[in-house]
Amino acid sequence: MNMISYREDLHEMKWDDFNFKSIQVNTLPLLEDPDHYNNGFVFKDALLEAVEKISGKKVFKLLFISPDNITSTKFYAIAFLEGKFILTAEIENTNHFYSWFSSIERDKKDTKKLKSEIYSFGKSLYSSQPASNFKEGYFYKDTGAFIADFIPNEFIAEKLAKEKADFLADFIQLDAKIDFEEVKQIFEALIAEKELRVIPPKNNEAIYAEFEQEAGFPFPAMIKDYLSLHNGVENAAIMGAEKILKEWKDWKTVYDDWTQEELLDTYSTNQGKALLMYTTPYWIPFFDLQNGNFLAFDFAPNTKGVPGQIIRYGADQEIGYIQADDLATFLKSLMGDEGEIRDEEWFYKP
């Protein structure tokens, strides 16, 4: 059998503990243009499809190891599958398969002197590195350790989630409060000054319940108070409850998919007020700056920050940056002709 279950002692396993039984890839189409720029992606997709057909399981990541034709003439595949299974196989080197492989090697300066490469394939993953990045014979001598070096996040999701939760635990502060009357007064003055149209507030209990189920903590009371004033503003960046939930869920997916190491950016600085992270579930977006960028309420501030502070984060930011210390201050900053965020950046022409 080519498949084994993932084990905690995987790194201790040796070559003989795995079965590299030969498989044939029958999913490659006719190679019409060996020089086509898209050949690598067609090759990748065909390998993924072949392994899924053979295993009957979804592939999270596939390692494809090419030979150097000196110490090895064999192609190998290692697939990380749903259910935490690992498939190991030798790929039968048919003429058709080798023609396709040669087509993705054509960009190499000297194809006569092949160097063993380790390709990492996935639905949205295509990368390669020379086998020489690892110690000589690593794949054959310490096979389990080699495989463990490429374990996908899906295999260790519980461990990664705990690392992230442990990191955030000391920063979480959900009891932020606002001076509601002050916020109400400033909000109404802002709407009047900019001649904007408020979408009337509504009962959002179903949305709050869905948030709590997804987040594992209650929808903050401070934002509930704020949303009692509106359910968004027409043609403006001010978001209603439904959009807040949608955007929060999208960023929660990013947070869940990334490791703590990937989320953390220790090279940047932000006055010590916000965590040096790309995103956290405790940043709740409420103001859409467009192009994947938002302002959010921060309920996990850094040591010099305060709960409920307003941070800027998103696709164009490495980390969250302080926009304002509180909601009232932020709303005030939008007023007048010299606001910190220009009118054209936050309310849009219908």
Could you tell me the residue range of the domain that residue 146 belongs to? 3-151
Q: Which of the four pLDDT bands, split at 50, 70 and 90, describes residue 295?
A: very high
Q: Are 23 and 77 in contact, with CB atoms under 8 Å apart?
A: yes
What's the pLDDT score for residue 107? 56
Q: CA 208, 212, 216: angle at the middle one, nearest 5?
A: 165
Rounded Cα gap, residues 241 and 224, in angstroms:
9
Same domain, 181 and 147: no
Nearest to 224 by CA among 256, 254, 201, 191: 201
Q: Do β-strands 75-81 and 283-290 pair in parallel, antiparallel, or remain unpaired?
A: unpaired
| Distances 273 to 293, 302, 308, 330 between C-alpha atoms, Å | 19, 5, 11, 16
Between 271 and 203, the higher pLDDT residue? 203
Positive or negative, the Cα torsion across 119, 93, 32, 54?
A: negative
Type of residue at 283: W
Q: Do β-strands 309-314 and 293-298 pair in parallel, antiparallel, or remain unpaired?
A: antiparallel
CATH number at residue 168: 3.40.1580.10
**What is the count of structural domains for the chain?**
2
What's the pLDDT score for residue 36? 92
Same domain, 143 and 182: no
Same domain, 136 and 171: no
- DSSP 8-state secondary structure symbol assigned to residue 133: G
Same domain, 190 and 303: yes
Q: Which of the four pLDDT bands, split at 50, 70 and 90, describes residue 72?
A: confident
pTM: 0.76
What's the pLDDT score for residue 108? 56
**What average pLDDT does range 303-331 have in this prediction?**
95
| Residue 112 clears pLDDT 60, i.e. is over it | no
As a 3-state breakdown, the chain gives helix, strand, coil percent values, each rounded to 5, of 35, 20, 45
| Residue 329 clears pLDDT 90, i.e. is over it | yes
Between 137 and 214, the higher pLDDT residue? 214
Same domain, 102 and 200: no
The residue out of 99, 118, 151 marking a domain boundary is 151
Same domain, 103 and 136: yes
Q: Which of the four pLDDT bands, split at 50, 70 and 90, describes residue 77?
A: very high
**What average pLDDT does range 178-189 have in this prediction?**
97
Nearest to 212 by CA among 266, 249, 257: 249
The CB density around residue 90, as the number of other CB atoms within 10 Å, is 16
**What average pLDDT does range 90-113 have in this prediction?**
80
Tell me whether residue 184 is exposed, middle or buried, using C-beta atoms within 10 angstroms of its C-beta: 0 to 12, 13 to 18, 19 or more. Answer: middle
| Residue 336 clears pLDDT 80, i.e. is over it | yes
Between 2 and 180, the higher pLDDT residue? 180
Same domain, 77 and 124: yes
- DSSP 8-state secondary structure symbol assigned to residue 87: E
- DSSP 8-state secondary structure symbol assigned to residue 300: S
What's the pLDDT score for residue 113? 60
Considering the chain, what is the average pLDDT of its residues? Answer: 93
The residue out of 151, 182, 201 marking a domain boundary is 151
Same domain, 143 and 284: no
Q: Do β-strands 117-122 and 22-23 pair in parallel, antiparallel, or remain unpaired?
A: unpaired
| Segments of the chain assigned E as strands | 3-5, 22-23, 59-65, 75-81, 85-91, 117-122, 125-130, 283-290, 293-298, 309-314, 321-324
Q: Do β-strands 293-298 and 283-290 pair in parallel, antiparallel, or remain unpaired?
A: antiparallel
What's the pLDDT score for residue 43? 97
Q: Are 103 and 35 in contact, with CB atoms under 8 Å apart?
A: yes
Which H or E element spans position 96? helix 95-104
| Distances 168 to 163, 174, 235 between C-alpha atoms, Å | 9, 12, 35
The residue out of 116, 151, 186 marking a domain boundary is 151
| Residue 179 clears pLDDT 90, i.e. is over it | yes
Same domain, 95 and 243: no
What's the pLDDT score for residue 239? 97
Same domain, 314 and 235: yes
Same domain, 51 and 194: no
Same domain, 11 and 79: yes
What's the pLDDT score for residue 20? 96
Q: Which of the four pLDDT bands, split at 50, 70 and 90, describes residue 33?
A: very high
Q: CA 263, 268, 270: angle at the middle one, nearest 5?
A: 100
Encode pLDDT of 221-258 as tens digits. 999 999 999 999 999 999 999 999 999 999 999 999 89
